[in-house]
């Protein structure tokens, strides 16, 4: 059974779950030509696998977002898989530690450390909430941030894109470093470099790249949001809040920015401010930001205001009727509504 939990600072709204599995591994990995039950390492032991399914809620009809899963561990550089209709992904786990990163339309939507697993493998399912059709469509660039191409770096951009497509992130990183060495004012290249470094598990270097982008364009929302995410993951909450506050000023239409700001406030025990920010995220994108109701419900429940928590669970179920924890939420509403 999939267990929904809130993951702090996902750049999309997610409920993640994990559990070990045996027979299911072959089913998920067959799509990628892998056979977990029959692959042995040099020590003659079965190679463990990390696998699972990505579920996307709230996507516009006929326009599903592009989902990419990136996995890395101590022996395996960042490896990317583009998710097909099945929603399945599968990676052999050859080293210790491990990190899963989920991207939606090129923006990080979730990340989760992977513990060392047995030969049975480990399943990690993710439930993503895509922005609704009322928000800016993927690929549409804010005209404020358009930048004329630099003839000296056009070919390098093409090569970097090819390297990323060929699952060669280190080569792409090298090419992007070349771009910013030629054109140090290219804040878009600095931001892309930061994103690749973050996906490769190098947050400190990523933060430096995002800081460079923001030195050039202080209001560049993508850099503000991702740098804020990195600060949040490192526990530097004041810095995270500063980035998200700047992001909502830069783009007051960004429901994602308000959602991240709201959760940062909650993590910093600023409940009233957190609720206001989450409410604004819901106003801007009622469906895509539906999980904000769950965040509010948990806060109210902890505060003992169970009738208010029940109201939030009820609103959430109106928007996400097929949630795996529906019965649990309905039971809570029944027991606490009007109390």
Write out pLDDT tens, residues 44-74.
Answer: 455 678 888 887 766 665 667 788 888 887 7
The whole-model pTM stands at 0.62
**Residue written as tokens 């933060």?**
207
Give the DSSP letter of residue 88. Answer: E
- How much is the mean pLDDT over the chain? 78
Are 25 and 95 in a shared domain?
yes
Strands 107-113 and 122-129: unpaired
- Angle at alpha carbon of residue 108, lines to 107 and 110, rounded to 5°: 150
Based on the fold, state whether residues 303 and 279 are members of the same structural domain: no
DSSP-assigned letter for residue 235: T
> Which CATH number does the domain housing residue 258 bear?
1.25.40.10
What are 248's two structure tokens?
A: 């909502």
Q: Looking at per-residue confidence, does 25 or 267 come out higher? A: 267
pLDDT given at position 22:
44
Per 3-state DSSP, the chain is made up of helix, strand and coil in percentages (nearest 5) of 45, 15, 35
Residue where one domain finishes, among candidates 129, 162, 183? 129
User: Does residue 313 sit within a domain?
Assistant: yes
- For residue 43, which phi and psi values (nearest 5 degrees)? -85, 10
Residues 255 and 131: beta-carbon distance below 8 Å: yes
pLDDT reported for residue 309? 94
Q: Determine the 3-state secondary structure of 10 from DSSP.
A: coil
134 domain residue, yes or no: no
Q: Among 284, 305, 321, which residue terminates a domain?
A: 284
Tokens of 129: 């909430």
| 3-class state of residue 122 by DSSP | strand
152, 278: one domain:
yes
- Indicate whether 62 and 111 sit together in one domain: yes
**Model confidence band, residue 154 (pLDDT cutoffs 50, 70, 90):** confident
From CA 84, how far away is CA 213, in angstroms rounded? 33
* Residues 12, 111 share a domain: yes
* 294 touches 302 (CB < 8 A): no
Q: Which of 88-92, 317-321, 322-326 has the lowest mean pLDDT?
A: 322-326
Q: Decide which of 270 and 134 is more confident.
A: 270
Does residue 87 or residue 261 have the better pLDDT? Answer: 261
Q: Is residue 210 part of a domain?
A: yes
Determine, yes or no, domain membership for 310: yes
Tokens representing 235? 């526990």
Quick: pLDDT tens for 14-47: 333 333 344 455 666 666 565 554 444 444 455 6
How many domains are there within the chain? 3
Structural domain of residue 236, as residue ranges? 143-284
Q: What is the CATH number of the domain that holds 19?
A: 2.60.40.10
Q: What is the pLDDT of residue 13?
A: 32
């Amino acid at each position: 059974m999939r267990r929904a939990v809130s993951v702090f600072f996902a750049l999309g709204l997610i409920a993640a779950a994990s559990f070990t599995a045996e027979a299911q591994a072959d089913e998920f990995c067959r799509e990628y030509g892998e056979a977990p039950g029959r692959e042995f390492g040099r020590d003659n032991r079965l190679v463990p696998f990390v696998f699972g399914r990505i579920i996307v809620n709230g996507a516009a009809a006929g326009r599903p977002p592009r989902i990419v899963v990136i996995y890395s561990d101590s022996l395996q550089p960042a490896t990317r898989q583009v998710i097909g209709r099945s929603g399945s992904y599968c990676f052999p786990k050859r080293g210790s530690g491990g990190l899963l990163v989920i991207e939606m339309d090129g923006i990080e939507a979730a990340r989760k450390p992977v513990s060392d697993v047995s030969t049975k493998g480990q399943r990690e399912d993710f439930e993503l909430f895509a922005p609704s059709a009322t928000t800016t469509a993927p690929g549409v660039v804010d005209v404020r941030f358009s930048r004329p191409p630099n003839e000296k770096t056009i070919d390098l951009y093409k090569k970097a894109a090819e390297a990323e497509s060929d699952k060669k992130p280190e080569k792409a990183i090298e090419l992007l470093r070349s771009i910013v060495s030629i054109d140090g004012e290219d804040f878009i290249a600095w931001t892309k470099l930061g994103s690749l470094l973050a996906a490769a598990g190098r947050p400190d270097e990523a933060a430096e790249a995002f800081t460079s982008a923001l030195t050039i364009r202080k209001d560049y929302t993508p850099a503000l949001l991702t740098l804020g995410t990195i600060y949040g993951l490192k526990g530097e909450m004041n810095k995270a809040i500063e980035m998200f506050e700047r992001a909502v000023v830069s783009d007051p239409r960004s429901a994602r920015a308000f959602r991240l700001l709201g959760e940062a406030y909650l993590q910093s025990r600023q409940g009233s401010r957190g609720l206001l920010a989450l409410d604004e995220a819901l106003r801007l994108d009622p469906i895509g930001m539906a999980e904000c109701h769950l965040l509010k419900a948990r806060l109210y429940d902890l505060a003992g205001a169970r009738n208010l928590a029940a109201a939030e669970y009820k609103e959430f179920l109106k928007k996400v009727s097929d949630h795996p924890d529906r019965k649990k939420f309905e039971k809570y509403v029944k027991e606490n509504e009007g109390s």
